Amino acid sequence: RLRDLQPIVLEQAPRFGGNSKGERWSGIEYSMGAAYFVKTEPTEELHARFYGPLGLDKAWRLVGDDPVVTKDRLHYEFWRGTTDPKRARDFKKAKAWFLDVLEHHYPDIPWGPGGDLDEAALADLDRRSMREELEAKLGHALHPHLATLCDHYSWSTFLCGWGEISAAAFLCSFVAEFDGVVVLPGGNAFAAERLLEQTAAAVPPTCLRPSTLAVRVALAPGGVDVTALGPDGAPYTIRAKTCVMSCPKFVAKKIVVDLPADQRAAIEKIRYRSYVVANVLVAAPLKVDAYDVYLLGDSAPVPDLPAESTKQGVTDVVRGE
């Protein structure tokens, strides 16, 4: 959207892509980070202005409901209660509520005022955790499989448990997947590479600068000064009209000069964690008709879900394509 302005892009890594990188092994393209996104319709702005022009819709594949694993058993149709048929009603009730959120309260992206989810309602959801919201809507006797799935999804998506993430953030991501998930060869790296190709074709080669570390950003007369270290380690400064900081806020607070006190205080409240993605290369195809499989662990009720998740050490398995 900014390429007509010929922006200069500074990337610390030697390769562009950020969390959307992939690799190739024996003809198989797999994701090293972000692996999929939700399906869009041609009439949606996100599709018309982003996915469509990049040609993503010509390469993506729609995947259906994926199974889950309890102990060593694979279960399909999770939302029909296949992991615990005696309490199937709990799963169906949960799915019905998620679908209601999707159809009547889920904001379009880009989000704007209006619709069923106005700014006040969104702010109200943002004050409650996903756990609080789900237990309030479905009851505190939530099935442990539902609790574990939500917690694992929260960890693999937001790097925190469902008792920490705001209901607004969780729902805007989770319920969208009921509308369909699409995957690309190599995951979201495919999208990043198409984006890089089109940008590189529209701007001078010197505008795209990998292996470059931004170390200082300060307001200056008529714009902003950005100081960076190039591939050779030598510092230089760029005078720009505008600077977009696309980095974690704990990094921004260290390099933005004269950051307002209220912003700095808000940044200090944010907790950051790491989430490890391990790629396992196998010699034979996996005989599993699934893309993303969540590992729910023991089928018995879990009194301490965070402790059990930590002990298990893994949330889900994404199959390379």
140 — pLDDT class (breaks 50, 70, 90):
confident
Tell me: the pLDDT tens digits for 18-62? 989 998 888 888 888 888 988 888 888 889 999 999 999 999 999
Residue-wise burial string across 110-140, b where 16 or more C-beta atoms lie within 10 A, e elsewhere: eeeeeeebeeeebeebeeebbbebbeeebee
* Distance between CA atoms of residues 92 and 87, nearest Å: 9
Looking at the predicted structure, is the pLDDT value of residue 129 above 90?
A: yes
At 64 the pLDDT is 79
Q: What percent of the chain has pLDDT over 90?
A: 54
CA distances from 77 to 81, 150, 159 (A): 7, 16, 26
Looking at the predicted structure, is the pLDDT value of residue 168 above 70?
A: yes
CA distances from 20 to 9, 23, 264, 287 (A): 16, 11, 28, 27
Looking at the predicted structure, is the pLDDT value of residue 116 above 80?
A: no
Cβ contact 266:252 at 8 Å? no
Q: What percent of the chain has pLDDT over 70?
A: 94
Looking at the predicted structure, is the pLDDT value of residue 260 above 60?
A: yes
Looking at the predicted structure, is the pLDDT value of residue 115 above 60?
A: no
Residue whose entry in the numeric block shows the structure tokens 């999707």: 102
At 235 the pLDDT is 98
Phi first, then psi: what are they for 14, rounded to 5°?
-70, -10
* Distance between CA atoms of residues 31 and 33, nearest Å: 6
Residue 235: how many other CB atoms lie within 10 Å: 11
Looking at the predicted structure, is the pLDDT value of residue 114 above 90?
A: no
Most confident option among 229-238, 261-270, 288-297? 229-238
To the nearest whole number, what is the mean pLDDT of the chain? 88
At 16 the pLDDT is 95
Tell me: the pLDDT tens digits for 293-317? 888 887 555 667 777 777 777 888 8
